[in-house]
Structure 1
Amino acid sequence: MTVAAVTGTVTALIPNPIFTRMVDAPWWAYPTWITSAVLSGLLIATYAQPSPRHPQSERRSIAGAALSFLAVGCPTCNKLVLLALGTNGALTWFGPVQPVLAIGSLALLGYALHARLRLATSCPATAQRQ
């Protein structure tokens, strides 16, 4: 819930007085935002139980979260994109790439969650009952 609230507020998918979007959000931004928030929440929950460290899944989860933020954000509101490409470049180059970033972010988050769950051990209380 926290991931959804923070990402939705900063990218102005949730209307708020602090952040505004210069370009309307496309239809696919909302399902991407919710799906990435669910995957991120499940991924964060896997860290509640100690498990063997898997640095690749940690890197994938961070990259997936960053890509999902870039994918659902306003192309002209991202200062790094504006500095690199300018307003015209943000709309003509970065905007059309955002759906690809969305797919990549969901794939990375899903793969990181799969890797974390594969390495997870069973709950000690459940293991004792068997």
Structure 2
Amino acid sequence: CEIGFEKYYEHLSMQVSAAGPLPPLLVVGNPGSGKSLLMSKWLQLQEEKNSSSLLLYHFVGTPSSISADPIVMIRRLTAQLMQHVSTPPALTCDPLRLVEEFPRWLEKVSAKSSGGVILVLDSV
């Protein structure tokens, strides 16, 4: 664990283990303050725990990179969600349908996972 992050790891873990549905949790701080490091290390700890939750994450590079494109992000996350259902339909290329269907996929897969879905978007 990174020095000083333990209390944040505990807070994040308590937040996602609370009875839900839960509202989004926003982690904010100045550039370079360690938000990305905090989230990546916390995700690593969650994966090591063999959490019953499905962990989805998307780390955006620079604001001008393709990873910052919201449609690319939603398409990638939807494709990951679709891997958790038997015989998923073809992933649509229509951006409007992607945006419309993404919450449904989150809900569908979350209902199948005993720990729900934890979605981390970094640098949005």
Q: TM-score, normalised by structure 2?
A: 0.29
Q: TM-score, normalised by structure 1?
A: 0.28
Instruction: Point out the structure with max Rg over C-alpha.
Output: 1
Q: Which has the higher strand share?
A: 2
